[in-house]
């Protein structure tokens, strides 16, 4: 996925191993979190997170 296509490009989530992207048929992209003990979705952009683990994010799930 091209980083320019991601919502909230400044969000720390894009550089975290716990991020999960979910897309819908209308083209919206939702930024989810899979870190244990945290909520699934947070208001964006995220600037600081105690659960942040640097790493390559998973691929986008497109529900098309």
| pLDDT at res. 64 | 43
* Residue 7: domain span: 1-57
Total of domains in the chain? 1
63 in any annotated domain: no
Q: Residue 20's beta-bridge partner residues?
A: 32
**What's the pTM value of the predicted model, to 2 decimals?**
0.75
Query: For residue 45, is the peptide bond before it cis, meaning its omega torsion is within 30 degrees of 0?
Result: yes
DSSP state of 31: E
| pLDDT at res. 48 | 95
12 in any annotated domain: yes
42 in any annotated domain: yes
64 in any annotated domain: no
1 in any annotated domain: yes
Instruction: Decide: 49 and 18 in contact? Cβ < 8 Å.
Output: no
In the numeric block, which tokens belong to residue 56? 């390559």
| pLDDT at res. 1 | 60
* Residue-by-residue pLDDT tens, the chain, 64 positions: 666 678 898 899 999 999 999 888 998 889 999 999 999 999 999 999 999 999 875 555 555 4
11 in any annotated domain: yes
**C-alpha distances in angstroms, 3 versus 11, 36, 38, 42?**
11, 25, 24, 19
32 in any annotated domain: yes
């Amino acid at each position: 996925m091209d980083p320019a296509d991601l919502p909230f490009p400044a969000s720390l989530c894009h550089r975290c191993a716990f991020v999960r992207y979910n897309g819908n048929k209308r083209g919206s992209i939702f930024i989810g979190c899979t870190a244990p003990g945290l909520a699934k979705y947070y208001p964006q952009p995220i600037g600081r997170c105690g659960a942040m683990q640097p790493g390559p994010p998973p691929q986008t799930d497109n529900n098309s």
